Amino acid sequence: MGIKQISVFVENKTGRLAAVLEVLEKKQINIRAFDVSDSANIGIVRLILTDAELGLHELHQAGFTARIDPVAIVELPDVPGGLLRAVVKPLADAGINVDYLYAYTEPSTNKPIAVIKTEDIARAEKVLKQR
């Protein structure tokens, strides 16, 4: 299943992550999942929000550079090898590269969920549905 992810580009310095999160808190936008990665000067904060469009708008209003990206999400079996068998191997066998992946636990079901970015989200979703 596809979902919208917000990617926020921030300086890699103290307080910038807090500033991003304060914008969302102020507007009562809940974070379902997040990932933070960095390079020498820039951090990328990836967020799955309860309202992606509002989150993007509010982050832009606060002066942040941000965008919406489509990502795939898939429920993971909570067993050893679950990520390998349910996601990574089927995509690799189909010749689909995983650009990045992170996981969270869905509050309503308490099930592990993987967020996956590939070069072809529609094709990745088709492969994962067939598994």
Report, as an integer, the average pLDDT of 23-50. Answer: 93
**Which one is the CATH code of 71-130: 3.90.550.10, 1.10.10.60, 2.30.30.90, 3.30.70.260?**
3.30.70.260
Class at the top of the CATH hierarchy for domain 2-70? alpha beta
Q: What is the reported pLDDT for 85?
A: 94
- pLDDT digit string, tens, across residues 70-91: 999 999 999 999 999 999 999 9
- Give residue 40's pLDDT band: very low, low, confident or very high (50, 70, 90): confident
In the 3-class helix/strand/coil scheme, how is the chain assigned residue by residue? CEEEEEEEEEECCCCHHHHHHHHHHHCCCCEEEEEEEECCCEEEEEEEECCHHHHHHHHHHCCCEEEEEEEEEEECCCCCCHHHHHHHHHHHHCCCCEEEEEEEEECCCCEEEEEEEECCHHHHHHHHHHC
pTM of this prediction?
0.87
Domain ranges (residues) in the chain = 2-70, 71-130
* Average pLDDT value for the chain: 94
